[in-house]
Amino acid sequence: MADFTTTTGDLELHDWHGSKLLAQPVLDALTRFTSEGIIDPAQILGVSENLDEESDTDIFCPRHGLDLAQAGNVVIVHTHKTRKAPPQFAAALVNSDVRADLNGLVKHTLQVSKVSFAPVADATAATAMESGGMSPIGLPAEWPVLVDVRILETPTLFIGSGIRPSKLVVNGALFAYLPGVRVIEGLGKPRG
Tell me: the pLDDT tens digits for 158-176? 999 999 999 999 999 999 9
Number of CB atoms found within 10 A of residue 36's CB: 9
CA pseudo-torsion sign 137, 114, 116, 104: positive
**How many structural domains compose the chain?**
1
Amino acid, res. 141: A
Share the mean pLDDT of the chain.
Answer: 92
Count CB-CB contacts under 10 A for residue 113.
12
- What residues make up the domain containing 163? 2-190
Q: What's the CATH code of the domain at 11?
A: 3.90.960.10
User: What's the rounded Cα separation, in Å, for the pair 47 and 62?
Assistant: 18
DSSP 3-state assignment of 60? Answer: helix
pLDDT in tens, 105-155: 999 999 999 999 999 999 999 999 999 999 999 999 999 999 999 999 999
- What is the pTM (predicted TM-score) of this model? 0.93
Q: Please, which residues have CB within 8 angstroms of residue 84's CB and are 6 or more apart in sequence?
A: none
At 86-100, the pLDDT tens digits run: 899 999 999 999 999
